[in-house]
Amino acid sequence: MRVLEVYRNPRQLAILAMGFASGLPLALSGATLSVRLTEAGVSLAAVGAYALVGLSYSLKFLWSPVLDRVALPWLGARLGQRRSWLLAIALALAGAIAALGFAEPLDLWLTAVLAAGVAFLSASQDIVIDAYRIELLGKDEQAAGAATTQWGYRVGMIASGAGALALAQHFGWPQSYLAMAALAGVGAVTALLSPEPAHPHARSWSLAGAVVEPFREFASRPGWSWILVFVLLYRLGDALSGQMSNPFYVKLGFSKDEIASVAKLFGLVASMAGIAAGGAFAYRLGVAKALIAAGAIHAAGNLAFVLQAALGHDVRALAFTIFVENFTGGLVSAAFVGYLSTLCHPAFTATQYALLSSLTAVGRTLFASPSGWLADRLGWPLFFCAAAVAALPGLALAVSLGRASARAAPPSPRGSAASPT
């Protein structure tokens, strides 16, 4: 219970609301939009091509230096660097969501442009929210803050997924998207009610200061190259098993209804519990030890898939497997995001976090690509054992980096311009 006290910090409420604002737009230009397009008679090929509008989420590091170092005129002087950008983006995002709701789905180009606009503004909002969270919290609170953000994020996704579909069923698509646009105002209200975090004053724009300096500062740290290797490798086992979990269930003979109904109940509850536990782990043990503990538990969780393969089509075993998969996934996710947050220099928070998170996404994509090939050749039990073994290099690096961090000087106080250990 003392560990969970970290979640009673009033700052966590602002972070929860921002997590909701961050998760809300994703489905509106993705899964929810695909339902609307399909209902309107758009071809499946075109619906699939609409996935390209989400490229902004992978490329957000390209414009993160602007949000990090350039202050908005007038508004920035009154609200501060982070709050002013958050308010401006939230208002623009609400307008873009409303416009997308009133667009004619068969007007493919207009719909694509508006959807891409929603994704761009959503990715930009993510940049600011991640920087705000990191700067508002102390180093020992980062993993708990990451957990709170993910809680809010998942609730936002549910609202714009199942919630938007239910509203569209009863009131129509334009009204559904209008309601989502109103909910996007949560970000604007939070910006107005929340404190501005400690952040070095934005300097005049220069290529060196905004783009080169964040790289130079990171590359000046001892062992920086090993940190990047760790960021790439830590989720290797997760990338392999996560990509193949649903095909595994299907191959065992589970129907889509069985998978969906079990995942809806056990998956959601387990994921939320794992995220909260991961934040508490890091607060109690420290981020370095939490990475090791959470990573080891997550790797061992692959044995649930091995048990499932032995039992075959057993719904009770499926509930256990999905619970373990989602709980350990939430556990390791909160610890890892908390670690990435501690790596960011206060002067370049948005830029460095955007780069690190993009590197993580690239790693997961690359390592997940051969998962099907491996499963075909090894068979399911050996494949999931291999996924557990694949986590070991990342765990070894976590141990090494943890020891190096323990030998380093104590971290600087929040808001200072010193490099993190």
Please, what are the domains in the chain? 3-204 (1.20.1250.20), 213-407 (1.20.1250.20)
Average pLDDT of 127-136? 89
| Among the ranges given (90-99, 147-156, 388-397), the one the predictor scored with the smallest mean pLDDT | 147-156
Query: What pLDDT, on a 0 to 100 scale, did the predictor assign at position 306?
Result: 95
Query: What pLDDT, on a 0 to 100 scale, did the predictor assign at position 24?
Result: 94
Query: What pLDDT, on a 0 to 100 scale, did the predictor assign at position 200?
Result: 58
First to last CA, the chain: 29
Distance in angstroms (rounded) separating the CA atoms of residues 64 and 128:
8
Cα-flanking dihedrals φ and ψ of residue 137, to 5°? -105, 155
pLDDT > 70 in the chain, percent: 91
Distance in angstroms (rounded) separating the CA atoms of residues 39 and 239:
33
Sign of CA pseudo-dihedral 340, 12, 345, 290: negative
Most confidently predicted of 188-197, 307-316, 352-361: 307-316
Average pLDDT of 237-254? 85
Query: What pLDDT, on a 0 to 100 scale, did the predictor assign at position 408?
Result: 56
H or E, element range at 368: helix 349-368
Average pLDDT of 278-306? 88
Over 50: is that where the pLDDT of 416 sits?
A: no
- Nearest Cα to Cα of residue 47 among 123, 115, 124: 115
H or E, element range at 11: helix 10-28
pLDDT band at 198 (very low <50, low <70, confident <90, very high): confident
Q: Report the residue count for the chain.
A: 421
**Burial, 122: exposed, middle or buried (Cβ in 10 Å; 0-12, 13-18, 19+)?**
buried
Cα angle, residue 189 at apex, residues 188 and 192 outer, rounded to 5°: 90
Query: What pLDDT, on a 0 to 100 scale, did the predictor assign at position 264?
Result: 66
Cα angle, residue 289 at apex, residues 286 and 291 outer, rounded to 5°: 105
H or E, element range at 49: helix 44-49
- Predicted confidence (pLDDT) per residue in 38-75, tens digit: 888 888 788 878 878 888 887 888 898 888 888 888 88
Average pLDDT of 226-248? 87
Over 90: is that where the pLDDT of 117 sits?
A: yes
| Among the ranges given (91-100, 141-150, 183-192, 304-313), the one the predictor scored with the smallest mean pLDDT | 141-150
Distance in angstroms (rounded) separating the CA atoms of residues 194 and 357:
25
Over 80: is that where the pLDDT of 361 sits?
A: no
Average pLDDT of 174-201? 86
Query: What pLDDT, on a 0 to 100 scale, did the predictor assign at position 174?
Result: 95
Distances (CA, A) of 337 to 6, 234, 243, 331: 16, 11, 20, 10
- Predicted confidence (pLDDT) per residue in 86-114, tens digit: 999 999 999 999 999 999 999 999 999 99
Query: What pLDDT, on a 0 to 100 scale, did the predictor assign at position 2?
Result: 57
Query: What pLDDT, on a 0 to 100 scale, did the predictor assign at position 275?
Result: 86
Average pLDDT of 317-343? 90
| Among the ranges given (8-17, 18-27, 203-212, 340-349), the one the predictor scored with the smallest mean pLDDT | 203-212
Query: What pLDDT, on a 0 to 100 scale, did the predictor assign at position 195?
Result: 86
pTM (predicted TM-score) = 0.75
Query: What pLDDT, on a 0 to 100 scale, did the predictor assign at position 338?
Result: 86
Query: What pLDDT, on a 0 to 100 scale, did the predictor assign at position 172?
Result: 92
At 28, which amino acid appears? L
Query: What pLDDT, on a 0 to 100 scale, did the predictor assign at position 52?
Result: 83
- Predicted confidence (pLDDT) per residue in 316-328, tens digit: 999 999 899 989 9
Over 60: is that where the pLDDT of 201 sits?
A: no
Over 90: is that where the pLDDT of 209 sits?
A: no
Instruction: Give the alpha-carbon dihedral of 322, 323, 324, 328, to 10 degrees.
Output: 110
Query: What pLDDT, on a 0 to 100 scale, did the predictor assign at position 8?
Result: 72
| Among the ranges given (219-223, 234-238, 260-264, 386-390), the one the predictor scored with the smallest mean pLDDT | 260-264
